[in-house]
Amino acid sequence: MKRIVIFASGSGSNAENLIRFFQNSDLGSVTQVLTNNPHAKVLDRCKRLDIPAFSFNRQAFSKSENVLNLLKIAQPDLIVLAGFLWKFPEFILKEFENKVINIHPALLPKYGGKGMYGMHVHNAVVENKESETGITIHYVNENYDEGAIIFQAKCSILPSDSAEDVASKIHQLEFEHFPKVVEKLLGTEALEVPLKY
Ligand code: GAR
């Protein structure tokens, strides 16, 4: 069985969706969830779903090797960032090359970069009167939202859509596609090679 470790900072609805999907898979499972926010709702979800979950601070994450050592023990085949807001340290990425992926709630390279997360993205998309938006699943590199793109899916925006409406359309796309893309990556022999779907 392949091992998936999820990083999440907030609500964790994508984390829960991934956990549930892989509870019915014989390919892999979510073995633990890590968060930078000790009050994140994702911790309640993990408790309910009986998945080990831990919170860490900046010291443990990027100023020491505590989280890295935890990951070395966990031996993940894939590290999945699902609504994780801190920049991933380069020294951890180096140990898990092409094994760290992120989901972004827009069609990168549009609406990416520092400060572009969650509702900030949807507000900007609506303010700019975009007629479509979507999701991007990509490898994580040292720059925010710039790693190789693995998968994108689009949805249209009506002139009457609020940022909340867009957020809900994006979550639907995420729930539908994210587990399938993770499953495809886990089923690929050479995870070292960035793949496009
Ligand atoms: C998701 O829409 C995800 O794409 C986004 O945060 C949301 C988390 O929702 N990620 C980013 O904006 C990263 N830049 P969730 O906690 O309910 O899964």
Q: pLDDT for 107-152, tens place per residue?
A: 999 999 999 999 999 999 999 999 999 999 999 999 989 999 999 9
Cα gap 166→132, rounded to integer Å: 10
Q: Whose structure tokens read 């979510």?
A: 30
- 34, β-bridge pairs: 7, 54
Q: Is the pLDDT reported for residue 190 higher than 70?
A: no
pLDDT of amino acid 158: 98
| pLDDT (0 to 100) of residue 156 | 98
Name all domains of the chain by residue range, CATH numbers in brackets. Answer: 2-107+138-153+177-187 (3.40.50.170)
Distance CA(162)–CA(122), nearest Å, equals 9
Q: Which atom of ligand 1 is nearest to the CA of 11?
A: 16
Report which ligand 1 atom has the smallest distance to the Cα of 8: 16
104 flagged as catalytic: yes
- CA 117 – ligand 1 centroid, Å: 7
Decide if pLDDT at 3 tops 90. yes
pLDDT at 195 over 60: no
How many helices and strands (H and E) does the chain possess?
7, 7
Nearest to 108 by CA among 117, 99, 100: 117
Measured from the CB, is residue 112 less than 6 Å from ligand 1?
Answer: no
Averaged pLDDT score across all residues of the chain? 95
- Ligand 1 pocket, mutate which of 13, 35, 152 (most atoms under 8 A from CB): 13
Q: Is 12 in the pocket of ligand 1 (CB under 6 A)?
A: yes
The token pair at 87 is 């920049």
Atom of ligand 1 nearest to the CA of 104: 4
Torsion-angle region of residue 138: left (phi > 0), alpha (psi -120 to 50) or beta?
beta
| CA gap 109, 112 in Å, rounded | 6
Collapsed DSSP state (helix, strand, coil) of residue 119: helix
pLDDT the model gives residue 189: 63
What is this structure's pTM? 0.95
pLDDT tens per residue, range 64-89: 999 999 999 999 999 999 999 999 99
- Residue 88, ligand 1, Cβ within 6 A: no
Q: Is the pLDDT of residue 197 over 80?
A: no
Q: Confirm or reject: Cβ of 11 under 6 Å from ligand 1.
A: yes
